[in-house]
Amino acid sequence: MAPTTPKFNNPPPTCKYCILSFPSPAILLITLNRPKSLNCINMDGHAELEAMYAWLDAEPSLRVGILTGNGRAFCAGADLKEWDSQNAAGKPRAMPHSGFGALSRRTGRKPVIAAVNGICFGGGCEMIINCDMVVASRKATFALPEVKRGVIALAGALPRLIRTVGRPRAMEMALTGRTLPAEEAREWGLVNKVVGDGDGEVVAAAVEMATLVAENSPDAVIVSREGIKLGWEAIGADEATRLLMESWYPRLLQGENIKEGVRAFVEKRKPNWKESKL
């Protein structure tokens, strides 16, 4: 699919460390662009990505985000050279509330899909653990090697990892720091789908998945995602359902999309979704 140049209510934030493109008017593709540094994210990069995801959530025409990397890495984690310099200078490291790459603790409104093209270590792995879906190239590798550097994965991955892969496997990843190939990561439940390693193949697969999401009611996608998040964050099913019904479902009922979905089904046509106002 050829990239498009959509019109937006507000222009996208300025980018220095990533590239923005739009495979379709509803899909934002963010490509980390520090290939010589294996797409390690520095402090300015965290702030840049935080602004990017805030814009994704606020822009009505966008429905799904995709994150990938340029070169042989998706993201190899923190910029350790910068970290070392800051340590030497006694400077604090102020990461966004949304975590590493503004994604490892992101809540947000709209789904983000990771298209993992290669090395996915440390903070990079913490980001994909909190992504809504993950597509990986067969050459992709995953690891939490922090223990090998005397630090820990403190950006939100550890409590979420145990819910995704279970305690024994979470312990194995966090305590050994060993590297998982893509197929093993899929077997463990970290990855939805593994594709070939041809040029652009993993991004194309992520765009295909994002297109399936973008074709649906944006209101229903936002509220369904919220319901799954409530359960995943260790809230009981009854409490999560109550919160969803009290906080989100009334907003869904006020929109036009819930009526349009039913009407289109009855009339046997494709729905004409309106931009979400949730």
CB distance 189 to 246 below 8 Å: no
> Looking at residue 276, what is its pLDDT?
79
> Looking at residue 260, what is its pLDDT?
84
Residues 99 and 103: their CA atoms lie apart, in Å, by: 6
Query: How many residues in total does the chain contain?
Result: 278
> Looking at residue 110, what is its pLDDT?
97
> Looking at residue 151, what is its pLDDT?
81
> Looking at residue 211, what is its pLDDT?
98
CB atoms within 10 A of CB 214: 21
Q: Which one of the listed residues 59, 82, 126, 226 is annotated catalytic?
A: 126
* Residue 146 annotated as catalytic: yes
Q: Which one of the listed residues 48, 50, 82, 146 is annotated catalytic?
A: 146
* Residue 76 annotated as catalytic: no
Q: Which one of the listed residues 123, 124, 156, 255 is annotated catalytic?
A: 123
pTM for the model:
0.90
> Looking at residue 3, what is its pLDDT?
61
* Residue 78 annotated as catalytic: yes
Intervals of the chain under pLDDT 50: none
Longest CA–CA span in the chain (Å) reads 67
Write phi, then psi, for 181 (nearest 5 degrees).
Answer: -70, 165
Q: Which one of the listed residues 73, 76, 78, 182 is annotated catalytic?
A: 78
> Looking at residue 134, what is its pLDDT?
98
